[in-house]
Chains A and B, each alone.
Chain A
Amino acid sequence: MHPAVQGILTIIIGVGGCVAYYYFSNQILDRFVFPARGPNAGRNINRANMVRPWLFLAPALIALSVYLAYPVVETLWLSLSERLPGGGAKFVGLDNYRQMLAEPKFWEALRNNFMWLLVVPAFSTAFGLLAAQLTDRIKWGNIAKSLIFMPMAISFVGAAVIWKLVYDARPAGQDQIGVLNALYLTFGGSEPQQWLTIPILNNFLLMVVLIWIQTGFAMVILSAALRGIPEETIEAAIIDGANPFQIFFKIKVPQISGTIVVVWTTITIVVLKVFDIVFAMTNGQWQTQVLANYMYDKLFRANDWGVGSASAMVIMALVTPILVWNVINARREMR
């Protein structure tokens, strides 16, 4: 069967199945299980209303448990066990973690991830704040915004190609086709550099790609927050003789600090999961490994589920504080 036909069929079956499920399960509940007539009509209506939410929730709950909750538990178990030849697994305690900690490549990945965590959210938020503040003050700000926002729509892989062209190097003496080398030579560099093979520096060049993508996101959120600041506070500051920089840093930024934290944490999560950029641009060579790519290497190239799952748990552990913080905030908001 042609995949396109299969796709259309899936939409019809999937959507039709969902609609049918919701419709008929409601019908069955109201007509047959707890009919709203007869001697117990009142009680039946109440009972039906207690069951109905679960009918509405069931498909989502099943999908969430199978596709997100169960894997967390299963990965934890995989990270603590070893596959036996011929199927089955045995509990090995922390052996996988010990093996992982003994690998220099893991420490390299962890070190790089921490550099990413420090640099990318900071620069994305800073550039985003700058762009938001500047574009809000001019007439063509909306066009500028949508152009800065545009990389959001580009895949990490597409961005990798785009930036590989920027970092491209041709042999000395030829015309450079990568902008970076062209600029480098114009401003006194002696010979073209293979930028992505220069350790430590190459990490930052990869980070540039993610900053380029995430700045638009930060800008959009922060721009909305800036617009929400009450004008009286700014007017008062102007009357008191504050200059534009004072207004920005002492009046505006403190009032949107909550949003800045949200932007920062959201980008932090993106950074923790960053995979495609490294996979496509260097594949972890030349000391650019990061945790997500390390994990992919272990799981699908080395076929080592134990260590791979252990490194996945490290990512999970790094995400957990943010997870807890988000849940606490959401609960506070609901009250």
Chain B
Amino acid sequence: MENIAGTKSSLSWAVHISVAALVLIWLFPTVGLFVSSFRTADQIATSGWWKAAFPSEQNLTLRTDPPSTQVQKGGQWVIEGNLFGDKRGATISVYGTSSREISTYKAGETGKFRNGATITVQPNGDYVASSDTKWKGGRGPRVFVTAVTPPEFTLRNYQMVLFDPANREGMARAFFNTLTVTIPATVIPILVAAFAAYALAWMDFPGRALLVAAVVGLLVVPLQLALIPLLSLHNDIGIGKGYLGVWLAHTGFGLPLAIYLLRNYMVGLPRDIIENARVDGATEFQIFTKIILPLSFPALASFAIFQFLWTWNDLLVALVFLIDSTGETTVMTKQIVELLGTRGGNWEILATSAFVSIAVPLMVFFAMQKYLVRGLLAGSVK
């Protein structure tokens, strides 16, 4: 509406700024999760993710090299090396030799261990520890440092969550389980609904209006009501908990929206095409498969995206109809809820797991947004 005289008001700057603010607020939480999934546990625990791009000051507990590396120099037993090992780059400001006094000495000064041995730590982590007696034990003594570490991002979290076979809490299996649930649960209702929608849109029979009204009604029935009756039903007919049950359940729950969306779309197709085909002797089955289905592609795509997002993101239906006590068939949403319970503070694991489950829907969302919007516009009951 920019072309209407007078609408381009002095508020235009305010509009740009408010939209930018709104977008930033909306993005901020998700970006936080995304950034956190690339940070190490230490970094996440000691500084906010919004500081990830800047050097951060951390309290670290490090060890000198093990006593096996000590050498004898002028009557002293000496261990030399760098506290950071190969990962240099941090700058130590203060350090201490006991967990209760972690900032007793400035970098460059010489500190004392409780047993009388001494250590000198340089800002870059180089140290010289010397003792009158021989160092003992398998590991070097601990040194507590306060250091400014440069920003660092890592893919280790993803490697651990996705590709570490020893990790019992990994997401790899849950990822495939989710995929296994999602694809049949998306494909089957489309087919069933398409035939029904065609009958409701283009075939004349008594009771049609009533059926359409029933579908509109079922659109809002909470699926909470279906849990116990259907679980007992599945148990009675021998399906029990498993993939078949969850596929059937998703099909049933997705049908009202599918029929509603597709019928609304098909009703809008031009009457001429269908009537001409009928006059030319096409059977209803041919009309449906050769004319209606190809023309309805946008509506089919809309519903497919809805159903995909819904089944991928679902927790309740999977909890009730799929996941048994062995946990072999767990899906990602369930896995994440479990991690929230057991690993509530381990944000590197949580953030990475959550992002693994979010990534696929986000890709679908950005690739197929057009169809999603179209489906929303057609699907909200007017």
Residues of A near any B CB (own CB < 8 A): 3-4, 6-7, 10-11, 14-15, 18-19, 22-23, 26, 30, 49-50, 52-54, 56-57, 59-61, 63-64, 66-72, 74-75, 78, 127, 130-131, 134-138, 141, 144, 146-158, 160-166, 168, 170, 174-179, 182, 212, 215, 217, 220-221, 224, 231, 234-235, 238, 244, 258-259, 262-263, 265-266, 269, 272-273, 275-276, 279-281, 292, 295-296, 299-300, 305, 308-309, 312-313, 315-316, 319, 322-323, 326-327, 329-331, 333-334
**Shortest Cβ distance from residue B53 to the other chain A in the assembled complex, whole angstroms:** 15
B347 adjacent to A165 (CB under 8 Å): yes
Q: In the bound complex, what is the Cα–Cα distance between A328 and B23 (angstroms)? A: 38
Q: In the bound complex, what is the Cα–Cα distance between A68 and B213 (angstroms)? A: 14
Q: A68-B253, A244-B9 are in contact. List 17 more A-B contacts (CB 8 A).
A: A3-B180, A4-B179, A11-B188, A14-B184, A53-B199, A63-B192, A67-B230, A70-B229, A131-B22, A134-B19, A144-B23, A165-B351, A217-B376, A275-B315, A276-B315, A323-B220, A326-B217
Question: Which B residue's beta carbon lies closest to that of A245?
Answer: B11
Instruction: List 12 A–B pairs whose Cβ atoms lie within 8 Å, in order of A's numbering.
Output: A10-B184, A11-B188, A56-B198, A60-B255, A67-B249, A67-B253, A146-B369, A151-B26, A155-B315, A292-B224, A326-B381, A327-B217
Q: In the bound complex, what is the Cα–Cα distance between A241 and B360 (angstroms)? A: 50
- Partner pick for A161 among B20, B33, B212, B251, CB 8 A cutoff: B33
Known: A71-B229, A148-B26. A53 touches B203 (CB 8 A): yes
Q: How many A-B residue pairs have CB under 8 A?
A: 347
- Partner pick for A7 among B27, B180, B219, CB 8 A cutoff: B180
B203 adjacent to A52 (CB under 8 Å): yes
- The reply to whether the CB of B221 lies closer than 8 angstroms to some CB of chain A is yes
B351: chain A residues at CB < 8 Å are 161, 165
B288: chain A residues at CB < 8 Å are 56
B358 adjacent to A155 (CB under 8 Å): yes
- Partner pick for B380 among A131, A262, A299, CB 8 A cutoff: A262
A327 adjacent to B200 (CB under 8 Å): no
User: What is the number of residues of chain B that contact chain A, defined by CB distance less than 8 Å?
Assistant: 121
Known: A26-B283, A147-B26, A263-B380. A60 touches B15 (CB 8 A): no
A64 adjacent to B252 (CB under 8 Å): yes
**Shortest Cβ distance from residue B200 to the other chain A in the assembled complex, whole angstroms:** 7
A61 adjacent to B196 (CB under 8 Å): yes
A68 adjacent to B191 (CB under 8 Å): no
- The reply to whether the CB of B247 lies closer than 8 angstroms to some CB of chain A is yes
A221 adjacent to B376 (CB under 8 Å): yes
B365: chain A residues at CB < 8 Å are 150, 152-153
**Shortest Cβ distance from residue A186 to the other chain B in the assembled complex, whole angstroms:** 11
A179 adjacent to B227 (CB under 8 Å): no
- CB contact list, B248-267 vs A, under 8 A: 248-249, 251-253, 255-256, 259
Q: In the bound complex, what is the Cα–Cα distance between A121 and B322 (angstroms)? A: 32
- The reply to whether the CB of B284 lies closer than 8 angstroms to some CB of chain A is yes
Q: 1/0 per position for B285-318, CB-CB distance to A under 8 A?
A: 1001000000000000000000001001111100
A319: chain B residues at CB < 8 Å are 220-222
Q: In the bound complex, what is the Cα–Cα distance between A67 and B255 (angstroms)? A: 10
Q: In the bound complex, what is the Cα–Cα distance between A136 and B204 (angstroms)? A: 42
Known: A54-B205, A134-B19. A158 touches B243 (CB 8 A): no
Question: Which A residue's beta carbon lies closest to that of B47?
Answer: A175
A212 adjacent to B6 (CB under 8 Å): no
B33 adjacent to A15 (CB under 8 Å): no
B358 adjacent to A78 (CB under 8 Å): no
B199: chain A residues at CB < 8 Å are 52-53, 56-57
**B interface secondary structure, majority:** helix
A158 adjacent to B336 (CB under 8 Å): yes
- Partner pick for A144 among B22, B285, B312, CB 8 A cutoff: B22
Q: In the bound complex, what is the Cα–Cα distance between A131 and B219 (angstroms)? A: 28
A316 adjacent to B221 (CB under 8 Å): yes
B4 adjacent to A154 (CB under 8 Å): no
B16 adjacent to A138 (CB under 8 Å): yes
Known: A64-B256, A266-B380, A333-B382. A56 touches B195 (CB 8 A): yes
A70: chain B residues at CB < 8 Å are 229
B71: chain A residues at CB < 8 Å are none
**Shortest Cβ distance from residue A317 to the other chain B in the assembled complex, whole angstroms:** 10
B26, B49, B199, B220 pick with most chain A CB within 10 angstroms = B220
- CB contact list, B180-209 vs A, under 8 A: 180, 183-184, 187-188, 191-193, 195-196, 198-200, 203-205, 208-209
B313: chain A residues at CB < 8 Å are 154-158
B217, B350, B351 pick with most chain A CB within 10 angstroms = B217
B216 adjacent to A3 (CB under 8 Å): no
Q: In the bound complex, what is the Cα–Cα distance between A69 and B192 (angstroms)? A: 17
A164: chain B residues at CB < 8 Å are 340, 350
- Partner pick for A53 among B205, B212, B353, CB 8 A cutoff: B205
